[in-house]
Chains A and B, each alone.
Chain A
């Protein structure tokens, strides 16, 4: 039998021809060498909606608490399963998040939907839990200079600070999501080494974060640098625990998300209406728009559970409240039809 197999194999199983000649199987779905473009894409993608936190945090106009709560409630109805609600940082640093407790207590929590909040330190964590948070997030940077300029300490020091938060979260059985910023480029350091990103991601993952979101903070990534970085990180952290957080500052976000999906990533962060600009490039955009991401995913036959029309309603609402135009191309195009 083995001899027969070998004979058959020699004749039939040459590279690239496998798709036609799997004589001994019935159920194999083999992709031909030509169809590189659409294979092994995840069947479903989880969208992590960061508009109410990352988005609003980077908007100049301070939005009333009621509007924030309404936005989150509308997003809850659109089918999203993760909505980053607010941030327990000191309002001295981030005035937009000053109403963190009221927002957390005021939203209608939909069953099956998670509402993570940022907790930069133990105090923030305690306040978050007190306000009813059941998932939190911590932020590390892959760039030393960015860490120093942003939170006034080295990357290592920041990870040690988070240790406290991790311990407390474990005791309270609160899951923690880890963010790594500047994964392809830093406004101060320029190009960031993929190994550094892998190192920080690995630290956060081994500290206990259930998921690591890799953020292209200034949007300079392209499918080239994205692939390089993801290859390095996925050697240290399982791909199923990775997410991408792409900024659209140079218009590269959707292309970057596509290559990430092709590499097995199935969690994508985005912001309704593309809320949130870029503090390092005035007037430029920041977060990629959830509507545009969902449009692409649905066009690829990937399930998200999100109702695009309801999502667009939430986007129109918050843009009216902010008195600004949406950053989502889908929203811009669709509302004219």
Chain B
């Protein structure tokens, strides 16, 4: 009769295989039940407004205002509030009052107040001022590293190793940042493997968490997915965080993608403080309010009170004389 054996048919067409064994689809997850994403039940928000946000605002904010902002944020339930940066005030005048800020805030018992410490000098000053958690900033782009902190990635890693070693002795946890994770203003596209390499180095040096930053906000769910796929081969997913910028409006879908891939730590800034130094007039950090709105709408817990964050946002925007960058903030203030 010349009929083709079943196995050959199956070899030639997996469609035929599925016709003959309909249960296979389910097993092979070809017909994925897309709606059954496993999202984390809880997401930790790392509030970077007082540091990353204010650092990128033109207006210099008085110390008292910074302290009040941080105190208001502490009262919202946030468990991490990045307080300030121990960089030279010559480079970042906004952070010149780092010691007074760290000593002036009222620390909530369950909240951490990490500070940036780019080198040993900064680390020692931070410890003297009472810091109990620090952060170091690496870059996935050589050019960005050289332009931003005047040294290569390798040289910066040596600097950070010093800081991490000193921190280990004092049992001070260190968070690592990788900037330009999805694109660089100088180099353009950044290879996911490079991001993975830098993230792995920071993790192996002793950082407890690695925050992957889309510094110029050019990432999309496509590039976020590819980058995370690579990085999570080298760093456990629960040690990863995403730090998305909303410069091209992509922050929330990028965060959503990260959540779908198992990331459960998200950096954001109250009121979307901080512009983008590479696209003047554009936004930078994603707004904490907008992130919370999305997470709560998905049934994901954060332990953060959205209304209190909006209040803190209103406060700092008044002090800065500017409108909030948060869409939730804008909508709530306008709702009839």
Contact = CB atoms under 8 A, between A and B. Distances in A.
Bound pair: A and B? yes
Which among A298, A328, A337 has the highest number of chain B CB atoms within 10 Å? A337
B282 A336 contact: yes
Interface string A280-297: 111111000100100110
Interface stretch (B11-19, B91-99, B101-109, B153-161): B11-19
B165 interface: no
A252 B334 CA distance: 17
A248 interface: yes
A296 B225 CA distance: 13
Contact of A329 (B27, B249, B297, B336): B249
Interface stretch (A34-42, A78-86, A106-114): A34-42
Interface stretch (B82-90, B129-137, B273-281): B273-281
A281 B282 contact: no
Contact of B29 (A33, A283, A334): A33
B290 A251 contact: yes
Contacts, number: 197
B334 A282 contact: yes
B322 interface: no
A222 B297 contact: yes
A16 B32 CA distance: 11
Contacts of B13: 25, 27
Contacts of B282: 329, 332-333, 336
A336 B220 contact: no
B261 interface: yes
A37 B221 contact: yes
A223 interface: yes
B330 interface: yes
A227 interface: yes
B5 interface: yes
B56 interface: no
Interface residues of A, number: 69
B248 interface: yes
A132 B172 CA distance: 72
B249 A18 contact: no
Interface residues of B, number: 64
A299 B221 contact: yes
How would you classify the secondary structure of chain A's contact residues: helix, strand, loop or mixed?
loop
Given A26-B12, A36-B37, A264-B34, A281 B250 contact: no
A1 B6 contact: yes
Contact of B279 (A5, A16, A296, A333): A333
A283 B293 contact: no
A38 B249 contact: no
A14 interface: yes
A295 B34 contact: no
Given A258-B221, A333-B247, A25 B17 contact: yes
A216 to B, nearest CB: 11
Contacts of A336: 279-282
B229 interface: yes
Interface in A291-310: 292, 295-296, 298-301
Contacts of B65: none
B248 A330 contact: yes
A329 B10 contact: no
A36 B260 contact: yes
7 contacts: A13-B27, A13-B28, A31-B32, A227-B35, A249-B331, A251-B327, A251-B328
